[in-house]
Amino acid sequence: QMAALQQPLHIQQPIPLGVPPMIEHPYIQPTHGRLPADRPIVKLSVSLIDTYKHINRVYYEERDARRAARAAQKAQKGQGANNNGWDDDNYDYIVTTGELFYGHYVIKERIGKGSFGQVVRAVDTRTNQDVAIKIIKSKKPFLLQAKTEI
């Protein structure tokens, strides 16, 4: 046991100042994995502008796709805030000129609006006469009141 302790230790020679140490095994580029240009450290330093341009391009493409999808969905159900897009903020039906009601009334214009609903002028295509159509708001109290008036 004493012989093992008495063996000389390897002492490393001091490196003079200003002289870089010699590396016995230089770094070898791997033959598989990421390409040097695809490495995160390169993308976040040398290619930072290209990285931001790519991120912006992807963001705006996704944003435009979301906007187009929302616009298509809105076009299908109307542009209102209530009743699945058919009514405005005050629960009044969004009237469109030229719209067909009940298969034979063509809406010409809105001629009145109040707290209970609105009235539109339409043409009955069966008789070719002007008619007035009262459209009540799509809230339960207005519906109940309208039923009592009929």
Among 20-34, 51-65, 130-144, name the most confident range.
51-65
Provide the pLDDT confidence category of residue 16 given band limits of 50, 70 and 90: low
* The pair of three-digit structure tokens given for residue 100, joined into one six-digit string: 């067909």
Provide the pLDDT confidence category of residue 31 given band limits of 50, 70 and 90: low
For residue 20, the one-letter residue type is P
**Average pLDDT of the chain to the nearest whole number:** 79
pTM for the model stands at 0.46
* pLDDT in the model for residue 17: 62
**Mean per-residue pLDDT for 102-127?**
91
Whether 1 has a pLDDT exceeding 70, the answer reads no
Through-space distance between the first and last CA atoms of the chain, rounded to whole angstroms: 114
